[in-house]
Chains A and B, each alone.
Chain A
Amino acid sequence: MANSKVTDIIFRMIQTDHLTFQYKKTDRVFRFPDITLSKQEHLLILGESGIGKTTFLHLLAGILKPNTGKVVINNVDITTLKANKLDLFRGQNIGLVFQKKHAITSLNVLENLEAHLFFSEKSKHLNKIETVLSQLDLLDFKTSKVNALSEGQLQRLGIALAVIHEPQVILADEPTSSLDDTNCKKVIELLIEQAAQTQANLIVITHDHRIKSYFQNTITL
Chain B
Amino acid sequence: MNIWKISIQNIKTKPLYTFLSVCILALSITLLLGIQQLKNGFKNQIETNLGKIDLVIGAKGSPLQLVLASVLHLDNPTGNISYAEANKIAKNPRIKLAVPISYGDNYKGYRIVGTTPDFLTIYNAELETGRPVKAAMEVVLGATVAKKLNIKVGDTFLSSHGLVENIMDVHDDVLTVVGVLKPTQKVIDRLIVTNLESVWDVHHHEDETAEHHSEHHHHETDNGEKEITSLLITFKSPRSLLTFPRKINISTNMQAALPKYELHKLYEYTSIGFKTISWIAYLILVMSCLTIFISLYKMVKERAFDLAILRTYGASNFQLIRMVLYEGLIIVFLAFLLGYIFVKMGLTIALHFISSNYQQNILEELPFMEDVLHLGALVLLMVVASALLAIYPIIKMNISTILSHEK
Residue positions of A touching B, CB distance < 8 A:
54-55, 58, 61, 63-64, 83-84, 87-88, 90-92, 94, 96, 98-107, 111, 114-121, 161, 165, 173-174
Q: Is the CB of B316 within 8 A of A104?
A: no
Once A105-B13, A106-B9 are accepted as A-B contacts, the answer to whether A54 and B313 lie under 8 Å apart by CB is no
Which chain B residues border A165 with CB–CB below 8 Å?
314
- B317 located at the interface, meaning its Cβ lies under 8 Å from any Cβ of chain A in the complex: yes
Pair B1/A58 contact, Cβ less than 8 Å: no
| Minimal beta-carbon separation of A79 from chain B (angstroms) | 14
Contact (Cβ within 8 A) B309 A104: yes
- A100-B312 CB under 8 A given contacts A106-B10, A107-B9, A114-B1: no
Q: Is the CB of A119 within 8 A of B403?
A: no
CB distance from B331 to the nearest CB of A (A): 15
Q: Would you mind naming 23 contact pairs between A and B with Cβ atoms under 8 Å apart?
A: A54-B400, A54-B403, A55-B404, A58-B400, A63-B399, A63-B403, A64-B400, A84-B316, A87-B315, A88-B314, A91-B312, A91-B315, A92-B314, A99-B407, A100-B407, A101-B309, A105-B13, A114-B1, A115-B1, A118-B1, A118-B313, A121-B314, A173-B403
Contacts of A119 in B (CB 8 A): 310, 313-315, 319
In angstroms, Cα B308 to Cα A63, docked, is 10
Question: Which residue of chain B has its CB nearest to the CB of A84?
Answer: B316
A118 in contact with B403 given A91-B314, A105-B303 (CB within 8 Å): no
Q: Which residues of A contact B377 (CB under 8 A)?
A: none
Q: Which residue in B1, B317, B406 is a CB contact (below 8 Å) of A99?
A: B406
Q: Render B295-323 as a binary contact track against A, CB cut-off 8 A, 1 for contact.
A: 00000000101100111111111110000
Name B's A-contacting residues (CB within 8 A): 1-2, 5-6, 9-10, 12-13, 303, 305-306, 309-319, 399-400, 403-404, 406-407
Enumerate chain B residues within 8 angstroms of A87, measured Cβ to Cβ.
311, 314-317
Determine if B317 and A83 form an interchain contact, defined as CB atoms under 8 angstroms apart: yes
Contact A91–B400 (Cβ < 8 Å)? no
Option from A64, A98, A105 in Cβ contact (under 8 Å) with B306: A105
Residues of A contacting B309 with CB < 8 Å? 101-104
A63 cross-chain contacts in B, Cβ below 8 A: 311-312, 399-400, 403
The residue on B at minimum CB distance from A122 is B314
- Tell me whether A118 and B2 are in contact in the complex, defined as CB-CB below 8 angstroms, given that A61-B312, A100-B406, A105-B13 are known contacts: yes
Provide the residues of chain A in CB contact with B312, threshold 8 Å.
61, 63, 90-91, 94, 96
| A61 CA to B313 CA, complexed, in Å | 12
Q: How far is the CA of A83 from the CA of B406 in the complex (A)?
A: 23
- Give the nearest-CB partner of A171 in chain B: B312
B186 smallest CB distance to A (angstroms): 55
* B residues less than 8 Å from A117 (CB atoms): 1
Instruction: Give the docked Cα–Cα distance between A106 and B309 (Å).
Output: 12
Contacts A106-B13, A165-B314 aside, 15 further interface pairs with beta carbons under 8 A come to A54-B404, A58-B403, A63-B312, A83-B316, A98-B403, A99-B406, A101-B309, A106-B6, A106-B303, A111-B1, A115-B1, A118-B313, A119-B313, A119-B314, A120-B314
Contacts A99-B406, A99-B407, A104-B306 hold; do A116 and B10 have CB atoms under 8 A apart?
no
| A111 / chain B contacts, CB cutoff of 8 Å | 1, 5-6, 9
For B2, what are the chain A residues with a Cβ–Cβ distance below 8 Å? 118
Q: Once the chains bind, are B400 and A90 in contact (CB under 8 Å)?
A: no
CA distance A96 to B402 in the complex (A): 14
